[in-house]
Amino acid sequence: MSAPRTGPAAARVPAPDVARGLMLWVIAVANISAWIWAPGPTDGPRDRPLGAGAGTAAWTADDVVNTAMSMFVDGRGFPLFSFLVGYGVGQIAAREAARGTPLPLARGLLLRRYGWLLVVGALHACLLFPGDIITAYAFGGLFLALLIAESTATLVILAALGSVLMALYGAASWAVRDPGTAPFPSLVTDSVQEHFALVPAEGLGVVAYAPLQLLGLLPMLLLGLALSRHRVLEEPGARRGRLLGTAAACIGAGLLTGIGTGLLTTDMLEPSTAAGALLTGLDSVTGAAQGIGYALVVALICERAQRRTQDGATALRGREHPALWSLQALGRRSMSGYLAQSVLFTVLLPPFALGLGRSLAPTAALLLGSAVWLATLLGAVLLERRGLRGPAETVHRRLFLGAARGRSGPRPPASA
């Protein structure tokens, strides 16, 4: 999640922002499972991913939703965001190189940017949602800052090696799972005092675990940095045929393994521990590839939709493509949108709040998570029309650039 540099003068490419806005929906409907709980001391929360389905011969609507989530959502959104983080690092490095910025200064800018992002993620984990992912992206950005001078071939080789670690990480996650156990007890307690007593320790644990979490994100970070050098998302038209073929192969592979993990979520498939680990490890790699496929499809769609402005930058027109324009508005404010999800979930779901998370079925969880995402989308559109950055992006920018420079620079257009 990066603080956007908004406005035409920054020559922002629509595709990455549109992809971020769309993937925030994926994150919303995936994260809501951590907040779902059931009454009683022994029932625990409803744990949708991997082994919490109805287990009946006749499929229910919830079984269909679980399988669809495994095929299209689970393990797809977070890797895609990792790819976009790596791509963003490459864009910043290229921009600073074009300005003649010496490599040590460019690297220092990235280290400040993602160092402060780490602080934001740690605060989010310790105050709101211990399942925070910002900290992992921040560590990823810090790691990539050290590699911006490496050759593209080196990055690709490292990504290939990292895919092995990604598969092992995914397999281990399945092998040590404990269905029915609350991943974060602070989110399902009925005491607000206990909630705020538990969150800091859980959040610190997540921050400490974030570097290990990089094992599941590293290949996507590296591929994002490598592909940014070829401007794949900025200029997809010249290689449309190859990108369409690549996207089809990536998405197809992810769908195939997603069917298998979908059968796991509905308890229709009960493999041995080794076979289940093998399947989920493979799905972690193909699911990540599916995320790249999503990014390529979004880039090709945006390339057809966008227009050239008078200064040569590309832009989406709100009146002509309101859906893409709205997603771009949210993607420009992805950090604010992500943090807003945590605020809304805290108000809506826990027992100590409105309690809507009580025994929430998968279909209802999908609808509620989508509604929360739509609320953040509407907020981003309102900010875009007023030419305002997201509040989290504003604070982050001032922190890593300094107050004076953080206030300067062009703002997004008031309307499109």
List the domain range (segments joined by +) for residue 301.
13-315
Into how many domains does the chain fold? Answer: 1
Whether the per-residue pLDDT at 250 is higher than 50: the answer is yes
**Model pLDDT, residue 326:** 95
Q: Is 382 part of a structural domain of the chain?
A: no
**Model pLDDT, residue 45:** 41
Q: Using DSSP, state whether 307 is helix, strand or coil.
A: strand
Whether the per-residue pLDDT at 366 is higher than 50: the answer is yes
Q: Is 319 left (phi over 0), alpha (psi -120 to 50) or beta?
A: alpha
Q: What's the mean pLDDT in 90-113? A: 94
Share of the chain above pLDDT 90, in %: 57
Q: Is 129 part of a structural domain of the chain?
A: yes
**Model pLDDT, residue 277:** 84
- The band of 74, judged by pLDDT with boundaries at 50, 70 and 90, is confident
Contact between 376 and 24 (Cβ < 8 Å):
yes
* Cα–Cα distance, 182 to 202 (Å, whole number): 12
Q: Is 189 part of a structural domain of the chain?
A: yes
Residue ranges with strand state E in 47-161 = none
Q: Is 357 part of a structural domain of the chain?
A: no
pLDDT in tens, 279-303: 889 999 999 999 999 999 999 999 8
* Cα–Cα distance, 338 to 370 (Å, whole number): 13
Whole-number average pLDDT of the chain? 84
Whether the per-residue pLDDT at 407 is higher than 50: the answer is no
Q: Could you tell me which of 24, 30, 20 has the C-alpha nearest to residue 84? A: 20
Q: Bigger pLDDT: 154 or 174?
A: 154
Q: Is 237 part of a structural domain of the chain?
A: yes
Q: What's the mean pLDDT in 386-395? A: 95
* Cα–Cα distance, 89 to 145 (Å, whole number): 7
Q: Using DSSP, state whether 338 is helix, strand or coil.
A: helix
Q: Is 320 part of a structural domain of the chain?
A: no
Q: Is 414 part of a structural domain of the chain?
A: no
- The band of 391, judged by pLDDT with boundaries at 50, 70 and 90, is very high
**Model pLDDT, residue 2:** 39
**Model pLDDT, residue 310:** 41
pLDDT in tens, 142-167: 999 999 999 999 999 999 999 998 89
**Model pLDDT, residue 406:** 45
Q: What is the DSSP string of 147-193?
A: TTTS-HHHHHHHHHHHHHHHHHHHHHHHHT--TTS-S-GGGT-S-HH
- For the record, the structure tokens of 291 come out as 């995320």
Q: Is 360 part of a structural domain of the chain?
A: no
Q: What's the mean pLDDT in 179-200? A: 85
pTM: 0.85
**Model pLDDT, residue 273:** 75
Contact between 399 and 50 (Cβ < 8 Å):
no
Alpha-carbon distance values, 126 to 93, 135, 205, 271, 350 (Å)? 31, 11, 9, 37, 17
